[in-house]
């Protein structure tokens, strides 16, 4: 495993970070989830990312139980706040001071820890003044409940405003967690240049495009049974944007490139996002322990310019690069 600094801070994290979205507390049994976490630890992964909304808080509980007994100082534990949780009352969502203060306490209890290393705003809250949100985060840091603050799926302008306020309030906003893959490059035009300027790193989710970049989905064929594309609990919705024959045909052209590099297609996809110097870590999940070991082999891989060009040529026009897609993903009102 290799480690990278997170933003303009002294915190190092594993460049392959284990995330438990769509798996722990929902898709896989708790004992298998624990086996996946143990496999991650065995492979040298020290950084674990979750959120209170995953499986409506159950994912945090599963992760906390799986990490019990580990040396806390040797781990970096991340979670998030924004989406509705619990009974989903009028204040059980968003980035108000009330919701942040109550949510951090719940997350710490479920994770069985006194603090998280990174507490992230899971989306931008258009209904709460940014000053209120940032003051609440500042107080969470001063109370020792979080060491650093990050955001997820914020636009470049939102990140800039957040960083300016964080500096005024005396804490560090050091990370952004966007979707990023060979197929989904919307952060490259605005978010990455702004983040690089401000000392903010990316922790990218879905580097394998919800499994599409493994090559297991074939054009003109039904998705394999048990795959994410058949998951009616949410996985199928997320992957649907890539499930068309143009994309799936282009992805098949990546197979010889991966083979020439001595990598699986999934490893090639993870290695690709790690070539971006603003990316601190690629988030990977697993429904089976052996998947963790496979993904970790992407750590430390360097792809030369010729390989990067071959990838671009193979994918061509199916790549989504419009920076406006980040703003489109910002909820226009709090979700209840």
> Phi and psi dihedrals of 280, rounded to 5?
-85, -30
Distance in angstroms (rounded) separating the CA atoms of residues 38 and 269: 24
Instruction: For residue 207, give both structure tokens.
Output: 């580097």
Instruction: Return the residue matching tokens 């430390």.
Output: 300
- 156 class by beta-carbon count within 10 Å (0-12 exposed, 13-18 middle, 19+ buried): buried
Q: Which of 54, 82, 180, 217 is catalytic?
A: 54
Distance in angstroms (rounded) separating the CA atoms of residues 323 and 95: 24
Q: How distant is the alpha carbon of residue 20 from its chain centre?
A: 9
Indicate if 54 belongs to the active site.
Answer: yes
Buried b / exposed e along 281-302 (16+ C-beta atoms within 10 A): bbbbbbbebeebebbbbbbebe
Cα dihedral sign, 235-239-244-249: negative
The answer to whether residues 287 and 227 touch, using CB atoms and an 8 Å cutoff, is no
Catalytically annotated residues: 54
């Amino acid at each position: 495993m290799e480690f990278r600094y997170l933003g303009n801070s002294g915190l190092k994290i594993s460049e392959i970070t284990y995330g438990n979205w769509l798996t722990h507390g929902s898709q896989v049994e708790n004992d298998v989830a624990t086996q996946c976490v143990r496999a991650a630890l065995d492979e040298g992964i020290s950084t674990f990312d979750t959120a209170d909304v995953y499986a409506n808080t159950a994912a945090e509980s599963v992760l906390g139980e799986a990490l019990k007994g580990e040396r806390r100082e040797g781990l970096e534990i991340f979670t998030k706040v924004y989406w509705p949780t619990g009974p989903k009352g009028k204040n059980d969502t968003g980035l108000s001071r009330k919701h942040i203060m109550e949510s951090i306490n719940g997350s710490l209890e479920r994770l069985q820890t006194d603090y998280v290393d990174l507490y992230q705003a899971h989306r931008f809250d258009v209904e709460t003044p940014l000053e209120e949100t940032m003051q609440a985060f500042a107080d969470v840091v001063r109370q020792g409940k979080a060491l650093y603050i990050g955001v997820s799926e914020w636009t470049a302008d939102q990140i800039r405003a957040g960083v300016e306020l964080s500096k005024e309030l005396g804490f560090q906003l050091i990370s952004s967690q966007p979707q990023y893959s060979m197929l989904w490059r919307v952060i490259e035009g605005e978010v990455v240049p702004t983040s690089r300027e401000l000392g903010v790193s990316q922790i990218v989710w879905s580097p394998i495009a919800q499994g599409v970049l493994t090559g297991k989905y074939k054009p003109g064929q039904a998705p394999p049974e048990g795959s994410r594309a058949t998951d009616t609990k949410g996985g199928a919705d997320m992957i649907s944007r890539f499930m068309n024959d143009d994309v799936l045909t282009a992805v098949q052209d990546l197979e010889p490139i991966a083979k020439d590099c001595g990598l699986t297609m999934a490893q090639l996809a993870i290695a690709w996002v790690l070539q971006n110097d603003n990316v601190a870590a690629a988030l990977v999940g697993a429904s089976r322990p052996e998947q963790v070991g496979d993904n970790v082999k992407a750590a430390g891989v360097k792809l030369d310019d010729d390989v990067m060009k071959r990838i671009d040529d193979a994918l061509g026009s199916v790549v989504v690069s419009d920076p406006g897609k980040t703003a489109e993903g910002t909820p226009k009102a709090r979700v209840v």
